[in-house]
Amino acid sequence: MQERRKSNRMKIDVKIKLDPMKNGTADVSRLNKDEFTVELVDISKDGLAFRTMEKLELNTYYDTTVVLWTKETFETVIEIVRMENYGDGPTLYGCRFIGIMPSDQLKIQIYEMVSENEKQE
């Protein structure tokens, strides 16, 4: 399979919370009305992947709170661009950041550089 990502993805201990947005024609009525936490798989400066039992639709948007390893948080909007499910377990969703501040992207890149440096030592 050809890699199509623009940025490296890192496995990291980060928490995210999703809050469904009004998505035009997408039906979000069956989703948890409050924000919900998902299991983050990986993150990059351009997007993230997570697993959840919630049934989300492609091309929908979510207000997202990311809690970094440093306990800092940032707010962004994500778009669901990919999904995989091979049974009854949680679905894996791939997302791209729609609204992320350059300073928050830099925080992710700094962590990537520190992680790579630690691996080389």
Confidence of residue 25 (pLDDT cuts 50, 70, 90): very low
Rg (CA), the chain: 15
Candidates 15, 5, 2, 97; CA nearest to 50 is 15
- Give long-range contacts, CB 8 A cutoff, 24+ apart: 109-113: 109/45, 111/10, 111/12, 111/68, 111/69, 112/8, 112/10, 112/44, 112/45
What pLDDT is recorded for position 20?
67
Bigger pLDDT: 12 or 45? 45
Amino acid (1-letter code) at residue 31: L
What pLDDT is recorded for position 1?
37
Q: CA–CA separation, 99 vs 83, rounded Å? A: 21
Q: Which of 24-28, 32-36, 61-65 has the highest mean pLDDT?
A: 61-65
Bigger pLDDT: 66 or 28? 66
According to CATH, the superfamily of the domain at 15-120 is: predicted glycosyltransferase like domains (2.40.10.220)
Q: CA–CA separation, 1 vs 67, rounded Å? A: 31
Is residue 21 predicted with pLDDT exceeding 80? Answer: no
